Amino acid sequence: MKIAYLLPGSGGSFYCGNCTRDKVFTSSMKNSGHDILMIPMYLPLGIDECETESPIFFGAVNIYLEQISPIFKKLPRFIKTFLDSEKVLRLAAKQSGSTKAEGNEDMTMSMLEGANGKQSEDLDTLINWLKEHEKPDVVHISNALLSGLAEKIKKELNCVVVCTLQDEDEWVDEMKEPFCSTTWKLIESNARHIDAFIAVSEYYAQMIATRVQIPAEKIHVVYNSVGLDDIRENNHPETYHTIGYMSKISSIFGADVLFDAFVDLKKEKQFANLKLKYTGGYTDDYKEVIRDIKRKMKQNHLEKDVEFFDDLSFNGKKQFLDSISLFCVPSNRKEAFGIHLLEAFAAQVPTVMPNIGAYPEIINQSNAGLLYEPGNKAENLAIALKKVLGDRELFHSLKQNCHQAIQTSFSTSVQTGKIIKIYEQYLKIKG
């Protein structure tokens, strides 16, 4: 089976859970004997996802300029090529507006309009490349914000089109009206041209049903996963604990809330040796969050107890997770899944997470973490952290459940097998 997997790149400037999932998924498909190629859009892939033979389509800088004015479509080819270069696109990925819906409403809707949008020439370039180089049996679109591609791809390539559903609401619901409602309507309209949808959790399958009308039989729930070969023992010293945060370092994901809870814990004698580590990078929007945390570090004399870890490569993340004993990202967002939890489980690191989004689903299935109510922010989080870190029996019970959760519920062999069956089901229907 030949699969073309279309996904937006992150540029590698911050931790991207979706990028991790995409890397794990494509590797698992290849290990299962299928021919799958990651095809990046907008920006380059992350640090460890660069092994693709595909060019970058819909280069972010060019399509942004073309969205502003048609005159940019007439730029000389050598300038467009320069603007599509990896160096320029990675620089663009660090800019404040690169991962925000605000300011990108028109472009979002234009992309969802597909062949009728301002990026129609870019769509033709993608399709022609696929015809010449891939001729895929399945084109898998990594999220519904790219669903505008589906109609013409299906018509021109005569293939099955599958679309993953994950975190679209984080982008769309940030838009002001009428952009928000119009965008959901465009996604609903594009759903007619998609054979199957894959929601990454039961929570998100139910949530998306409140936004768009998609026939229930077209939506399949398949969890994100990690490979069994990623499972390893955690050898963090038992004489002290280290809390680890791995996500984009921002207030949206609670980096500041975690620090405030950490300060509260450090006031107690039993947590005098407690450490805190951050990794995940950031965009320019959240430099102030980093500065604020570092300012509070000095105020509370915690410079030796808090560390920022900058290596976002696969080995860097592994090294980070192996250096912590408890994982926590007190996010304000109701995430569709949260694959960073699975990465922590693989390293035998239990979690403390807010009782929102898909986190309860993962924690309840795994029994490898504790949920807390995020209402009082740092206060409730500190209580939950203290409960886990102060109870040796509870901590070891959660720790022992980490690997079992991967093996039974969140392994690539189980979840990738489900996706292959979905592909085969719709290929058979197509005939």
Q: Which of 21, 5, 45, 49 is nearest to 146 (CA)?
A: 5
- Could you give the CA distance from residue 248 to residue 326 in angstroms, rounded to a whole number? 18
Instruction: Give the largest CA-CA distance in the chain.
Output: 68
- Could you give the CA distance from residue 406 to residue 416 in angstroms, rounded to a whole number? 13
Which residue reads 């107690």 in tokens?
Answer: 268
186, 325, 341, 363, 398 from 366: Cα distances, Å: 36, 17, 10, 5, 9
CB 399 within 8 A of CB 367: no
CB 56 within 8 A of CB 43: yes
Which residue reads 């969890």 in tokens?
Answer: 223
Q: Which of 314, 376, 366 is nearest to 338 (CA)?
A: 366
Q: Which architecture does CATH list for 2-225+411-430?
A: 3-Layer(aba) Sandwich (3.40)
| Yes or no: domain 228-408 corresponds to CATH 3.40.50.2000 | yes
**DSSP secondary structure, 290-347, as one string:** HHHHHHHHHHTT-TTTEEEE---SHHHHHHHHTT-SEEE---SS--S--HHHHHHHHT
Strands lying side by side in the sheet with 306-309: 306-309, 275-279, 242-246, 326-328, 351-354, 369-372
CA dihedral 308, 310, 316, 320 (to 10 degrees): 10
pLDDT of residue 344: 97
CB 247 within 8 A of CB 227: no
List, run by run, the mean pLDDT of 10-residue segments along the chain (431 residues): 88 64 86 91 67 76 74 73 69 59 84 93 94 95 96 97 95 92 97 97 96 96 92 93 95 95 96 96 79 95 95 89 97 93 97 97 97 89 97 97 95 92 94 75
pLDDT of residue 15: 59
Q: Which of 7, 171, 167, 14 is nearest to 90 (CA)?
A: 14
- List every span in the chain annotated with CATH 3.40.50.2000: 2-225+411-430, 228-408
In 368-419, the DSSP E strands lie at: 369-372
- Could you give the CA distance from residue 99 to residue 9 in angstroms, rounded to a whole number? 11
Query: Which residues lie across from 39 on neighbouring strands?
Result: 6
- CA neighbours closer than 13 Å in the CB half-sphere of residue 186: 28
CB 304 within 8 A of CB 227: no
Give the other-Cβ count within 10 Å of 92's Cβ.
Answer: 20
Q: Which of 30, 64, 26, 29 is nearest to 45 (CA)?
A: 26
pLDDT of residue 68: 75
DSSP 3-state assignment of 42?
A: coil
Query: Which residues lie across from 276 on neighbouring strands?
Result: 243, 306
- Could you give the CA distance from residue 57 to residue 124 in angstroms, rounded to a whole number? 10
* Cis peptide preceding 237, ω within 30 of 0: no
In 112-183, the DSSP E strands lie at: 138-141, 160-165
β-strands 2-8, 35-41 pairing: parallel
Phi, psi of 310, deg, nearest 5: -100, -15
pTM of the model: 0.89
**What are the tokens at 96?**
């404040």
